[in-house]
């Protein structure tokens, strides 16, 4: 399972680094600021996950591949930033790919240390979502996870699918593909059809806040 974890981790790092670059360039940050945003987006969720399970040092400090991946991806993203902005909904695309991949790695981490299935799903969701939370806070935006959009819910569903397939005896590779596709599909359908979680506020309260 470990080689699968490593490959997915690298792909997730690339996807989240690009989403960080896109967000930072929209805010007109300098090169250092862009690198910081790309870094926290890529490793923020994984760092929090490792701290929660008592893993020290955290994963990216022990593997410089992640550092080099973020650096190279940031440089490439800055060079081709205009092309990235021409891609329709590019931030959504890379962010969605990132949460799908990181949901898998976080869930796998919980399984590897024999945690309860519900905790494994929670670790997957934390790994997937909290890099974006830190990114949005640093960029002075309300994090997507705290809005009405279906975001963390897609990760929870994807992690649950992963756990279920593993218990049914599916191979890690096939399980990762199906679980990742589940996250991407649910998130995409939610955006395309403007699906949202139920609101606790009345129409009058929403209009008052607006």
What DSSP state is assigned to residue 199?
Answer: P
Tracing tokens 């989240």 back to the chain, one arrives at: 16
pTM above 0.85, yes or no: yes
**pLDDT for residue 1 is more than 50:** no
pLDDT digits (tens, 9 = 90+) for 60-73: 998 889 999 999 99
Residue, of 176 and 199, whose pLDDT is higher: 176
Residue 67 and residue 69: Cα distance in Å, rounded?
A: 5
The average pLDDT across 172-176 equals 92
- For residues 44 and 101, the answer to whether their CB atoms sit within 8 Å is no
- For residues 101 and 12, the answer to whether their CB atoms sit within 8 Å is yes
- For residues 158 and 124, the answer to whether their CB atoms sit within 8 Å is yes
Residue, of 107 and 203, whose pLDDT is higher: 107
For the chain, first and last CA: distance in Å? 48
pLDDT digits (tens, 9 = 90+) for 32-63: 999 999 999 999 999 999 999 999 899 899 88
């Amino acid at each position: 399972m470990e080689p699968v974890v490593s490959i997915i981790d690298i792909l997730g790092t690339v996807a989240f680094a690009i989403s960080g670059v896109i967000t930072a360039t929209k805010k007109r940050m300098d090169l250092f600021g862009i690198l910081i945003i790309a870094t926290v987006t890529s490793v923020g969720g994984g760092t929090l996950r490792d701290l929660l399970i008592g893993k020290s040092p955290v994963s990216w400090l022990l593997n410089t591949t992640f550092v080099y991946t973020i650096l190279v991806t940031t440089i490439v993203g800055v060079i081709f930033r205009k092309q990235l902005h021409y891609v329709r909904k590019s931030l959504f695309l890379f962010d969605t790919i990132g949460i799908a991949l990181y949901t898998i790695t976080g869930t796998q981490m919980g399984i590897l240390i024999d945690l309860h299935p519900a905790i494994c799903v929670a670790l997957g969701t934390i790994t997937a979502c909290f890099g974006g939370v830190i990114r949005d806070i640093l960029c002075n935006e309300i994090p997507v996870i705290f809005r009405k959009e279906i975001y963390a819910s897609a990760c929870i569903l994807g992690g649950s699918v992963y756990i279920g397939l593993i218990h049914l005896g599916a191979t890690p590779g096939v399980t990762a593909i199906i679980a990742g596709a589940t996250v991407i599909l649910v998130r995409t359908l939610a955006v395309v059809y403007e699906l949202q979680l139920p609101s606790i506020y009345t129409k009058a309260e929403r209009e008052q806040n607006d």
